[in-house]
């Protein structure tokens, strides 16, 4: 059964602007060290940064206003085949367990100016 669906779109230039204004400090507040490393291994890190930010926002929308949690409680990781998924930690992990959410499906995409993420929570 579907528990919730969320989608978010982020302008890639917004990530560039944040980086120019605040440097990596901005990303360190919302992304894990693993996420930051993954993005900066690319020749252009900003599309990857944008979709990870969008994934966290999409998850918030899929959950609704039921819980407040830190963006660092959400980590976008790739499996051995490169498929992105969400690793939940802390309060978010407890919430998902309490709500019997078994799967957190994630789709990411970026094209030219935008990064987009869609999250489907399945119980």
DSSP tag of 72? G
Asked if 110 is an active-site residue, the reply is yes
Bridge partner residues of 76 (DSSP): 86
Q: How far apart are CA 38 and CA 36, in angstroms?
A: 5
Q: Are 34 and 75 in contact (CB under 8 A)?
A: yes
Asked if 61 is an active-site residue, the reply is yes
Q: Are 84 and 77 in contact (CB under 8 A)?
A: yes
DSSP-based helix, strand, coil % in the chain, nearest 5: 45, 30, 25
Catalytic residue among 61, 72, 89, 99: 61
For the annotated catalytic residues, the residue numbers are: 61, 110
């Amino acid at each position: 059964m579907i528990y919730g669906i969320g989608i978010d779109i982020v302008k890639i230039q917004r990530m560039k602007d944040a980086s120019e204004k605040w440097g990596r400090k901005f990303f360190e507040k919302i992304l894990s060290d693993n996420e930051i490393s993954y993005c900066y291994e690319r020749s252009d890190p900003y599309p990857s940064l944008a979709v990870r930010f969008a994934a966290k926002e999409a998850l918030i929308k899929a959950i609704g206003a039921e819980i407040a949690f830190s963006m660092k409680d959400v980590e976008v990781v790739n499996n051995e085949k490169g498929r992105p998924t969400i690793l939940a930690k802390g309060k978010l992990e407890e919430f998902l367990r309490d709500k019997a959410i078994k799967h957190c499906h994630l789709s990411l995409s970026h094209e030219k100016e935008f990064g987009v993420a869609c999250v489907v929570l399945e119980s």
